[in-house]
Amino acid sequence: MTKVLGYLEKTDFRDKNFVGTVAFRNEELTLPDGSKMALGIDDGHWVLVFQKGAGASFQVFEFDQHEKKVAVDKKPGTADDLKQFKKLIGYLFASAEVDDLVTLLPPQVVEK
């Protein structure tokens, strides 16, 4: 099976026109460690929803790529929070199977 990282090699996340959301295609799927994540990107604004395991509360990371700042659950983040965010994103990209995910694009991005 193909990992997400294999598809991202040519993607420029600095592109202000890059918009999309990546999530598991059903509630039963998880990453190898049992966690779940969904990632939305819009003009350098990244939102990562993270759940460590079944029944755990969700954490919401909001990353401003232009200012290199992170917020966690609507509170200003620390340098450690930024490291955690980057670690989680790396784990998602390296571990998620493409067939387990769905990509949602807003109507103005979908080609007709």
Please give the C-alpha separations between residue 79 and each of 50, 52, 57, 83, 95, in angstroms, as whole numbers.
18, 20, 22, 6, 24
110 in any annotated domain: no
pLDDT of residue 18: 62
- pLDDT tens sequence across 16-72: 566 778 899 998 999 999 999 999 988 888 999 999 998 999 999 999 988 999 999
Q: What are the structure tokens assigned to 18, written together? A: 């890059």
- pLDDT tens sequence across 68-96: 999 999 999 999 999 999 999 999 988 98
72 in any annotated domain: yes
Domain count, the chain: 1
> Where is mean pLDDT largest: 8-17, 58-67, 99-108?
58-67
Q: Which domain holds residue 50?
A: 5-104
44 in any annotated domain: yes
